[in-house]
Chain A
Amino acid sequence: MRSTFMGLETSKRGLFTQQSALYTTGHNVANANTEGYSRQRVNMSPTLGYPGSGLNAPMTAGFIGTGVKADSVQRIRDEFIDRQYRQETNKLGYWESKASAITQMEDIMSEPSEYGLDEAFRMFWSALQDVSTNPEDTAARKAAVQRAIHLADSFNYIDTQLKQIQGNLGNEIKVSVEQINSILEQIADLNKEIQAVEPNGYVPNDLYDQRDLLVDQLSEYLPVSIERVPSGGNASKVAEGSYKITLNTNLKDMSGKPLEIVLVDGRNYATIQALDTEGKKVDGDEDNDASNPSLAYFPFDKLVINKIDGGTQEIKQEEFQEFKGKLLSLIDSYGYSTDGTNQSIKGYYPEMLQNLDKLASAFVQAFNEVHEEGYTLGNSSAPSKNGIKFFDDTGLTAGTIKVWDEIIADPNLLAASSVQGEEGNGNWARILANLQSMPIVDGGTVTGTSVTLPDSLGLDGATFQSFYQGLISQLGVDGQKANLLKTNTETIRLTVENNRASMSSVSLDEEMTDMIRFQQAYNANARMITVIDETLDKIINGMGRVGL
């Protein structure tokens, strides 16, 4: 038997459902500009028809529908686009950070210009030529010594500035690690809340949105993979479950499959630390003072993950996946050790500093070697002699190169002459000047003399200037490549972001149209109730009143 008030119930269900849809539309409109928000839709489905099958089922003409219900409120989000977005963010994180580090290095080296190291070399050469044309002239000698001091100062300055930026990069590593740990903790908290809600059959869309935003931020730093773990209980079909986040590396486990390194699993999270070769956290706050070794620079050694189930996992630089993630980029620029000691350090900044040290050391050694064979300017109290060094031979790095104090005090000690006691002889100053454009071969002879260069200078036949030009050209090529790749990944990410926005962001026009739709449906349902009310009124107040 069908019920008297069935129509009312049907329309009442319609009213509630349309009302829910209207509220959801209002929620979408309110969040139209929220970052990371995905639009939500009410999934409506009809309720079971009447009658159900059974022994006492009445025979009616057919199933009569009983109304509508709101199954779930679901957010419109494409998991695949999210994955693409995170991959591109990851790559962009690497190249953006690399491009920035290289740009800062270019700013310091400042070539081509009138201020860089190349210009200092040129001015020193010119000054030595002036001495060779006027070897007796004290003013020319003083000028040459001043230019040499400027050259040494240029080396020192570049070294100091590069080390300062390197320290900044170390600091950025520290901040990034803190940030990553904070994000992991927040994701775990959200997982916990979601796990509490889902078994009740609810779908916490806004929590999902927050969680996805955090995972996007995490992807900038590290390459991660997401796995959805169902919450069990009475979870809805569209519930997304908790996230299990694993770090992607090149490590393999015993059976040759990629090693699973879990960062977040449900409400549990791991913490990470970036340690240097001394076992302390990398933080770049070192003062690179060579006289105080305890404050010197130490390269990155390994990333230590304090796992969820206890124990640690160590990851070295070569075990990271290449070119992925801002953290790896910072480590590559800051410098890392390939064997756990301080002897073999690689990385963009350490390698440039090492090359500058090599240049300074070769220059000091070669120059001193040649200078010692030349003769100084004698006078009545001090005769002309050879065997004098020009640069201080304890300063063999870019940070310590320095003109010998005695030369600064007495410019007559600049050995300009090739023969003892000949004050008008400027030939040796000329040889010294032309050292800059002479190919430097270990143990080779200096052109025009019988002086042999020291061994193990390491320039392999390049001249000092061409070696430095090689460094600059490598810097330029690397910078160009980083900028190109940054622009490329930025463009791709933009496209993916547009796709994501197309799928998930709120369109006010669409919401307005839907609003009208739901409002009209609500009106129609309300009208239906009025109609049924009138029919019921007819039955109750109009039937069986014959004769009244």
Chain B
Amino acid sequence: MRVTQSMLSNNMLRNLSNSYAKIGKYQEQIFTGRKFTRPSEDPVATVKGMSYRTDLNKAEQFTRNLQTVNTWLDTTDDALDQVGNALQRVKELIVQAANDTNTPDDRQKIQEEINQIKKHLRDLANTKVSDKYIFSGTNTFTPVFDSSGLTNVNENSVSIEVFDGITLNVNIAGKTLFGDIDTFMNDFSNTLLDPNSSGEDISKKLGDLDNHISAVLAARADVGARQNRVELMTNRLSSHEINITKHLSENEDVDYAEAITKMITSESIHQAALSVGAKIIQQTLVDFIR
């Protein structure tokens, strides 16, 4: 086949240009850290990358949601703990008051403390976290007790999504729980002030108080169980997040060692092409004919 100078020089130019393009491609991979930058370079990996990103975003959001859940549960648990302490004090006071040897003056002192504890319990029922009343069901703008007594808050659950389709109830409905306790406290206070009530009447209250304490404990147990579940969910989410990040990286990220090796190889090939090209293009017969 007849070969001419213009063919040789055109071919050399074209091959050099291809070689540059290869070097450019590896450089871009190294700079961006990704194997591909547009859908046409790898359509399947592109779509997989999009859905991994969605999964990752969800996992991050659910982790954030879990933090909110933790805030609710921790605060609820803390408040109920305080309620338990207060009720223990009330128990001691009942035992103390169930003694017929108490004078009306003694009873009045006890009743004053009962009043204070009642107010304390009402305050606990109105516990707030980030401007929300946590015992008011979903009426989080309204406290359980306002200046005129028990309000009409509902007992609905506040639920927060912690994984695809999985929601957790994060609150304890306080209206019945605290309402009953408040009624008991009022009742007891009145009994103390009633001069006709005997020590026996008062000691009968112990049974009621025990019921209330059980109710509070039951609520705490519920919260505790949920906290355990939250911990399990948190672990599950964090390992899920790690998995997805790994898959996302495998899908898209370039292996630096491989890319750098390929780039250096193509650079040296390019240099070889340049030096060979320079030698071929030079001489024609013109240089040798006298």
Contact = CB atoms under 8 A, between A and B. Distances in A.
Interface of A: 32-33, 102-103, 106-107, 109, 111-112, 118-119, 122, 125-126, 129-130, 132-134, 136-137, 417, 419, 421-427, 430, 434, 465, 469, 472-473, 475-480, 482-483, 494, 498, 501-503, 505-510, 512-513, 516
A410 to B, nearest CB: 17
B175 to A, nearest CB: 13
Given A469-B50, A508-B286, A422 B138 contact: yes
B168 to A, nearest CB: 11
A380 B117 CA distance: 33
Given A122-B54, A422-B154, A424-B139, A103 B285 contact: no
Interface of B: 1-7, 10-11, 14, 38-44, 46-47, 49-51, 53-54, 57-58, 60-61, 64-65, 68, 130-132, 136-141, 154, 156, 158-161, 165, 167, 171, 252, 284-286, 289
Contacts of B131: 136-137
Contact of B61 (A126, A419, A502): A126
A136 B141 contact: yes
B46 A425 contact: no
A103 B161 contact: no
Contacts of A421: 139
Contact of B14 (A130, A422, A482, A494): A494
Instruction: Name A's interface SS.
Output: helix
B93 to A, nearest CB: 35
Contacts of A109: 39
B43 A507 contact: no
Contact of B38 (A132, A479, A482): A479
Given A134-B130, A424-B137, A508-B284, A498 B2 contact: no
A422 B156 CA distance: 9
B193 to A, nearest CB: 38
Nearest to A478: B40
A106 B40 CA distance: 8
Given A424-B138, A475-B40, 4 more contacts: A119-B53, A129-B64, A508-B285, A512-B286
A476 B5 contact: no
A426 B160 contact: yes
B285 A509 contact: yes
B160 A133 contact: yes
A473 B289 contact: no
Nearest to A503: B2
A505 B7 contact: yes
A271 B223 CA distance: 84
A476 B46 contact: yes
Q: Which of B3, B50, B130, B285 counts the most A-chain CB atoms under 10 A from its CB?
A: B50
B39 A473 contact: yes
Contact of A507 (B5, B11, B51, B68): B5
Contacts of A469: 47, 50-51
Contacts of A137: 130-131
A33 B6 contact: yes
Nearest to A474: B43
Contact of B161 (A132, A424, A465): A132
A502 B154 contact: no
B109 to A, nearest CB: 40
A430 B165 CA distance: 10
Q: Which of B39, B58, B165 counts the most A-chain CB atoms under 10 A from its CB?
A: B39
